[in-house]
Amino acid sequence: QVQLVESGGGLVQPGGSLRLSCAASGRTSSSYVMGWFRQSPGKDREFVAAIRGSSSTYYPDSVKGRFTISRENAKNTVYLQMNSLKSEDTAVYYCAARQSCSAIECYSPRYDYWGQGTQVTVSS
């Protein structure tokens, strides 16, 4: 079993930046694919980013070029650096993990473990 705890959410102005962290504990493995999803009122859970290994990353067009996912295996931590934030980025952001996924499968919210989420609000 893996436990995931997100942190780093908060209120930022449009155009600002924020870095989210996800600390993993339990039976963790560096081979797990780590992902970030978000959900806002009235919308389905949306894929944001994923990282497989240390260099394979995946992003949807909505955040590509603005968000960056990374990991520090020694600390069992994954990060989501968010730049040039927009009001439409406002959502609860969830960290997730799964044992494996293809490039296409990583976009699906069919992950094995989930954190409780952290609120990100982009507003002036």
Burial 86-96 (b: 16+ CB within 10 A, else e): eeebbbbbbbb
Reported as a pLDDT band with limits 50, 70 and 90, residue 54 is confident
Rounded-to-integer distance, Cα 106 and Cα 123, Å: 30
Please say if the pLDDT value at position 73 is more than 90. no
Please say if the pLDDT value at position 109 is more than 90. yes
Provide the pLDDT for residue 103.
81
Provide the pLDDT for residue 28.
81
Highest mean pLDDT among 66-75, 81-90, 105-114: 81-90
